[in-house]
Amino acid sequence: MADKQYYTQNAEDVMKDLGVNDNGLSTEEASARLAQYGENKLAAKKKKSMLSRFIDQFKDFMIIVLLVAALISGVVVHEWADAAIILAVVILNAVFGVLQESRAEAAIESLQAMTSPNAHVRRAGEILVVPSAEVVPGDIVLLEAGDVVPADMRLFDAANLKIEESALTGESVPVDKTIAAVDADSGIGDRTDMAFMSTNVAYGRATGVVTGTGMDTEVGHIAKMLDNQKENQTPLQANLAKLGRVLTWLILAIAVIVFIVGMVRGAETPADMFLTAVSLAVAAIPEGLPAIVTVILALGTQQMAKHNALVRRLPAVETLGSTDIIASDKTGTLTQNKMTVEQTYFDGELRPASAGVRDGSRLLQIMSFANDTQEQEDGKLLGDPTETALVAYAKTRDYDWAGQLKATPRVAEVPFDSERKLMSTLHQLSDGQVLIATKGAPDELLRQATQIDEEAGVRAMTDADRKQILATNHELATQALRVLGMAYRIVPAVPDKVDSANVEHDMIFAGLVAMIDPERPEAKDAVAEAKSAGIRPVMITGDHRDTAQAISERLGIIEKGDSAAVISGRDLDEMDDKTFDEKVGDYSVYARVAPEHKVRIVHAWQSKGKVVAMTGDGVNDAPALKAADIGIAMGITGTEVAKGASAMILADDNFSTIVRAVKAGRKVFANIQKAIQYLLSANLGEVLTLFAMTMLGWDMLAPVHLLWINLVTDTLPAIALGMEHTEPGIMKQKPRGRSSSFLSGGVGSAIIWQGILEGALTLGVYWLAITFPVHTANAAIHADALTMAYVTLGLIQLFHAFNVKTLHQSLFKIKPFSNKSFNWAILIAAAALAVTVLIPGLSGVFHVTSLDLLQWGMVIGAGILMILIVEIVKFFQRRA
């Protein structure tokens, strides 16, 4: 049924095709169709068991290497504490992975929760209330205001019907529905003869025949896209996986070389060399890196939560920092999702709404009388967004709407219908006469108006007046404003027959009111800041092309008059994927789009290597939210479906929050990069030190030395680097791009030369201790030299942690001690290293000797040299 374009057929042909008449299906036929088509529910693919999900997390290459490292650490080297840490990291990552996988299922369950619990159907001529799950194709369904549409329906009877479809189409106002067939190329938002599952009836009543149920509905189509959408690997995950593979093979190769060279040299037994090679590998592999990244990301989420950005999965924090494109839904994200009066026209002049209305004008009275808005006890206005906007405006001008309505009660009405495009209400005046208040489409209203109300009084309307009013209406319409005309008439009594012919004639024109769903006040500045950061904002909406262009111009997304940057869903349908992928850079605004269009837009940008963030709040946004590198849902107006498919939720629905989150994401990446630079340069220093000692035939550091240095220097200082403050100018930099890595931007070369420097300084201290010994006994000389090399290798890493606070800037131009967590981390790590030498009971365990002041001076001097040499190199790098 889903592939049949019922919206193009007249109602009689649709019912004939579905085998049903006005009396509805028989009970037997309904049961048969229920068996044939299944329940009217959304289906999801079979869930994996929790165990199978957990096992899947261990199929990553880096994870396997870490598990082997843990096994060797415990069984071979007997470092059970190190093994326990590695296992804890691996298990923690697996748990996070399992939690992330449940997001898609939560989104499908949210879709199911949106469906109506019951439906009013006509079967065998009787009206029955049945569970929505039992509605079948061919059922005749009755709708009225307040109902949730239970299935996709072709309408064949409708009275003043308006359906709120924003969650499905993104359009900001309820859609007027009719029974007339529409063109075959009409998008979802233009299929005015259809009612769609899970949308809400805002006004009027209707009867229709069900054309699709369950997964054969438009909402079911979205559910299929959600179910089939693959989870994208974030730039962070891709970077870590690539880095892990390269490091693992490199370190394993060096460990093998050290083992072979040691055996050839013959200074150590095979067992000792094997232990040394294994210790080197375990110490050099940054097994703490996943945990450190997790902690840094978690700290980033805490900071972002304070700014109303709630992160649902940790890698999303860093992904924001690499974002190239923000594809944003318009309604409720860039705009307020609240119709607002923006301009008024009366007395021949166009005025901003803030200017108010002159005393004696009936404009406020008409807009609030010809209106079905209801006010709750708490002051909240309920009704059609356009009508509530009119009442809200009248109240802002201190018009006592409720009091005036009570004193001038409604006694009759001529409801709005889509053919004449007018609505009139009749009110009893205190002098016994009757006020007729009429609002509607300006061109239709002018056909019924013969007079005009101005400051000087009421006078006859001229052709010049009509031309000026129509020209003003056109001017406002080109700005994507929704324009309504207001008119009135006072008659002696209520006509015998209250209809359009007897009520809506010889009207007195009072003015025009122009409304729009306005942009959020802070959105324009946020768009400008995003552009300055090299991020391209793209607006996607279900609204009409003119509205989309006007809002995007006001926000600064496109230049004024740049209609070439705007494309509609219908135009998009005419392009194949290859053509669109080539031309996607030409467009910044998409109007009247369907859910599959949004996914195409995301994929087209991704095909160009761009990192795409997609914001949205409706059901229609969910597939694209999941397809994007990072989906961002609105927390206030967002549906649970959108939230379930997203990686981040904006608690305040504020577009500017995204820009602040991008800044936080860039900070997170920079801090992870600092931690990686620190860890890898330190580990490279360890590897080169041991490799050189092996090649030179020197005494080598023991496995316990390497493992303890690795334990005390690789954890707290690296985590503390993740808490560094944001560097100045971070939002003036261009996005890194998908192809960048943690080693880009000069970090890779810095790791190499700084690692070599660490190793060289450590070997230099060892050589000085051998060449200029304090003790005369040869054994004591070598013991002291090894102890000094051990302490130097550890302390030099802690000194170097200050260097990596900034990649190119001088340490002395920033505040090196502003991060209190970092200061404590360095002190604790230094103390943990020093106690192994200073406490006699531990010195035996760690095979070290006590050092005198001169020897401590040499060790600390090497650390100071590390800072000075790096500062000198940075100076020449800046000059270059």
Q: What letter represents residue 612's amino acid? A: V
Judge whether 89 and 288 are in contact, CB under 8 Å.
yes
Whether 209 contacts 140, CB under 8 Å: yes
d(CA 622, CA 223): 9
SS3 483: strand
Give the integer Cα–Cα distance in Å for 146 and 131. 17
CB–CB of 424/437 below 8 Å? yes
Active site annotation includes 329: yes
Please give the structure tokens belonging to residue 871: 């500062």
The Cα 860–Cα 113 span in angstroms is 65
Q: How far apart are CA 66 and CA 90, in angstroms?
A: 8
For residue 712, how many C-alpha atoms fall within 13 Å in the half-sphere facing its CB?
Answer: 25
**How is residue 96 written in tokens?**
């996070």
Q: Give the separation between CA 861 and CA 574, rounded to whole angstroms.
A: 71
Q: Return the amino acid letter for 193.
A: D
Dihedrals φ, ψ of 147, to 5°?
A: -75, 150
Rounded Cα gap, residues 488 and 492, in angstroms: 14
Nearest one of 321, 280, 188 to 664, comparing CA atoms: 321
Angle, helices 218-228 vs 103-113, to 10°: value is 170
Residues ≥6 apart with Cβ < 8 Å to 8: 181, 182, 183, 184
- Catalytic hit among 60, 193, 216, 329: 329
Q: Which residues contact 481 (CB under 8 A, 6 or more apart)?
A: 342, 343, 514, 515, 516, 550
Residues near 629 by beta carbon (within 8 Å), at least 6 away in sequence = 232, 234, 235, 319, 323, 606, 611, 612, 613
Which tokens go with 690?
């041991």
Q: 21 CB contacts (<8 Å, ≥6 apart)? A: 15
**Exposure b/e, 760-772, CB count within 10 A at least 16 = b:** bbbbebbeebbee
What are the DSSP E strand ranges found in 603-745? 612-616, 630-634, 648-650
Q: Tell me phi and psi for residue 483, to 5 degrees.
A: -110, 135
| DSSP conformation letters of 746-769 | THHHHHHHHHHHHHHHHHHHHHHH
State the Cα–Cα distance between residues 767 and 646, nearest whole angstrom. Answer: 58
Q: At what angle do helices 655-696 and 270-284 cross, to 10 degrees?
A: 160
Three-point CA angle 661, 665, 670, nearest 5°: 150
| Beta strand spans in 325-454 (E) | 325-329, 340-346, 349-352, 374-375, 381-382, 410-414, 422-428, 434-440, 449-454
Q: What is the set of active-site residues?
A: 329
